[in-house]
Amino acid sequence: MTITAVQGIGVHVRAVTPTAARAQADFRALLNVLSRPGVLDVVGTGDGPPALTVAAGLADVEVPTAVLSAPGEEHWARALHLATSAPVAPPREARMVVALRPPTSPELAELPRGDDLHPEHGARLIAAVTGLAEEATAGKSAGSEVVLTLRGPGVPGTRRLRVAGLHRDVFAALAAANAGFPAGIDTFLVAPDGTVAGLPRSTRIEIENGEH
């Protein structure tokens, strides 16, 4: 590897590495949204993809991690692994999956879910989206948004969440993966401005629209 290449990846590593204070604040935000599905919070943003910065605060040498990136963006995956020392793993063996581009239904279907005795073996999914809005702040739904109705622990009655940037099939696959609770996949959705929402495996998801 050339000196220029090393310097280049170093820039990306720094871009996704949060400070200790930022990582702690982000962790509190993630706990908040995971315990209150459909409620939004904010994580820090830097020079890299916010979803990757969130992952960098959670990954370590004991968390096999996969990064789904668009063609030409593979450097972000290398930056995350260098920043955290998290082992590289294929999605089907990963404990954390960072989707910088929309995951496909087959990709979600193969993620680890754990089982009744070992639900902690299920994967954690951190997915980049292009927009998030709660029911209270959302107007008329745009064609590119998926509107979700959420029920379950942490939700008083129901909550509605609008998500832009992921196809409805993604949420259908996620709902199917979580149908065998306590096994399943805990999910964080992260927008470019740092807005974050949580969809724990205990949440029942009803898809209201999202044909786009």
Q: Which class is 3-207 in CATH?
A: alpha beta
Asked if 197 and 189 count as a contact pair (C-beta separation under 8 A), the reply is yes
User: What pLDDT, on a 0 to 100 scale, did the predictor assign at position 1?
Assistant: 44
- Tokens describing residue 42: 């904010």
pLDDT tens-digit readout, 115-152:
989 998 999 999 999 999 987 554 555 557 999 999 99
pLDDT, tens digit, 9 for 90 and up, residues 166-192? 999 999 999 999 999 999 999 999 999
- Say which residues have a Cβ less than 8 Å from residue 171's Cβ, sequence separation at least 6: 146, 148, 163, 205, 207, 210
Is residue 165 predicted with pLDDT exceeding 80?
A: yes
CA dihedral (128, 193, 22, 186) positive or negative: negative
What's the pLDDT band for 208 if we cut at 50, 70, 90? confident
For the chain, give every domain's residue range.
Answer: 3-207
Rounded-to-integer distance, Cα 1 and Cα 136, Å = 51
pLDDT of the residue at 6 = 42
What is each CA distance from 133 to 66, 97, 103, 138, 143, in whole angstroms? 27, 23, 21, 6, 14
Distance CA 173, CA 63 (A): 23
76/94 Cα distance (integer angstroms): 17
pLDDT tens digits, one per residue of 26-73: 999 999 999 999 999 999 887 789 998 889 888 889 999 999 998 888
Judge whether residue 4 has pLDDT over 50: no
Q: Is 164 left (phi over 0), alpha (psi -120 to 50) or beta?
A: beta
